[in-house]
A and B are shown apart, each in its own frame.
Chain A
């Protein structure tokens, strides 16, 4: 009566095609390795140059890290669901520029805090609009996510240049205060980012919304057959990704006191790099927010640390490429080994 199915013929007929790892131990192992790599890098750079350990330097590391975190989390949600969002970087640019235009217009007409809140609102709205366009192209027009977000990447980056005329928009120096004050090694801005990151982590791993995200990325047909409205869910993920990118636009505005059409032009690549380093599977269904955060931490510490061992910053992108290559190779090797 019982279907105890371990017999040889079934195993031969359908060998497990996906990676045969126990999820719990795999995830823990991977996160531990990433943490060890991060700590090792931290002490390596410190041992090469003691200035690296100064509070100011660490604080600036945290700021650079925070600038990436929300984009990497947006990308984590999208990639876990089996998609990709190439437009996060250009959404940062277009929201920052449009937010700056509006704040410029109202500067002097209202107080500092309301002005920044207005800017945040505009950036969030711009992000929502871009996310909604992505969601429409993917779930209504049925474009593949790569093409849909390539369109918004191109159009968004171009429109940011059109609106800004190619240069930085606005000059609200008092905004920068918010990026330099805070608590211990954290600026207020970083703390806000970390709070959002914590919420996004909990939602992905402990709620129904997160469970559906994994299910769709793992097997969208099974998710649909289980009664999940996958189009609506996928649409919501791209809208969420746009919203987070819009907020990063405000983050960068506050950091440099202006909206720049070019600052974060390559941020989509960095965000995807963090996610790959963090062990999120590009084929969907597997990954974690904590992994993506460790990916951000490793990417940040390497790019920032190079300066301290006298490597010219022009090498940054080459080194980033090398890190991605190592992370991806390790994932591929582990995949083939456990597939037997």
Chain B
């Protein structure tokens, strides 16, 4: 095992036209670490995760996985490197079945020549999807249900299960407890802890500060596109965290 961080950002900057979304952002994330990424709206959280997941390319700076500099041409590249991202409220295709969503972009094809032609093995995907979700502690109704048939909480569970199931290195969760009730939020936090046990690095983006303080090992605070504080969780309180986010305290 090398001591290189699982994920490292060095001086990442990104602008959209005249809007400077990220300025000189650097941080390291290690295996088995849950890192809270917090900031007000427009602080650059979304841009940062889009850079890490390959949706946008940074204007400058380096992104390293396991100590190796990487460049993503598309989200496909970051996924191949073991980085999974769950986007806020938009991770699933509602008209497709649970199995189709779990395997979206990684479809299982039939064996033999039919598979070479791209024929899908739909039954195997539906079955394996439920099995794999069960493994990460998520149970959903059996049968070929479409995601639009599920409740909001169930959709979120499927989306998180999908990310945990495929992640090899880093898992990015953007507001995973949004719209969830108290009990379901706790279950999501439990899935995050389970991912940490598996040796994954979790980037947890949330506005719900008690959740962040409860589950994270470290909290990174973004303001106006820059990192203003990066400390272990026990050095924060809700008040000091809020103060740092809004810029009222140092």
- Taking Cβ atoms with an 8 Å cutoff, the residues of A that contact B are 1-11, 13-16, 18-24, 206-209, 211, 214-215, 217-219, 221-229, 285-286
Contacts and interface: CB of A to CB of B under 8 A. Distances in A.
Q: 7 closest A-B pairs (Cβ-Cβ)?
A: A5-B153, A14-B152, A10-B153, A9-B181, A226-B105, A227-B76, A285-B95
B233 interface: no
Contact of A215 (B96, B117, B139): B96
Nearest to A216: B93
Interface of B: 53, 55, 74-76, 79, 85, 87, 90-97, 100-101, 104-107, 109, 117-120, 122, 137-139, 144-146, 148-157, 160-161, 179-184, 187-188, 190-191, 194
B159 to A, nearest CB: 9
A7 B181 contact: yes
B151 A10 contact: yes
Contacts of A285: 93-96
B160 A208 contact: no
22 contacts: A3-B191, A5-B151, A5-B153, A5-B180, A5-B187, A6-B153, A7-B181, A10-B151, A10-B179, A14-B153, A16-B151, A21-B149, A22-B146, A206-B119, A211-B100, A215-B93, A218-B93, A218-B95, A224-B55, A226-B79, A228-B76, A228-B105
Instruction: Kindly name the residue among B183, B188, B194 whose own CB sees the greatest number of chain A CB atoms within 10 A.
Output: B183
Contacts of A217: 95
Nearest to A9: B181
Given A3-B187, A227-B76, A20 B156 contact: no
A228 to B, nearest CB: 5
A207 B197 CA distance: 37
B134 to A, nearest CB: 8
A11 B149 CA distance: 12
Contacts, number: 160
A1 B190 contact: yes
B104 A286 contact: no
Contacts of B149: 16, 20-22
Contact of B119 (A9, A207, A221, A225): A207
A275 to B, nearest CB: 16
Contact of B93 (A3, A9, A206, A222): A222
Contact of B79 (A5, A9, A20, A227): A227
Nearest to B161: A3
A11 B96 contact: no
A14 B180 CA distance: 9
A15 to B, nearest CB: 7
Contacts of B75: 224-227
Given A3-B191, A208-B109, A215-B104, A221 B184 contact: no
A4 B139 CA distance: 6
Contacts of B188: 3
Contacts of A286: 95
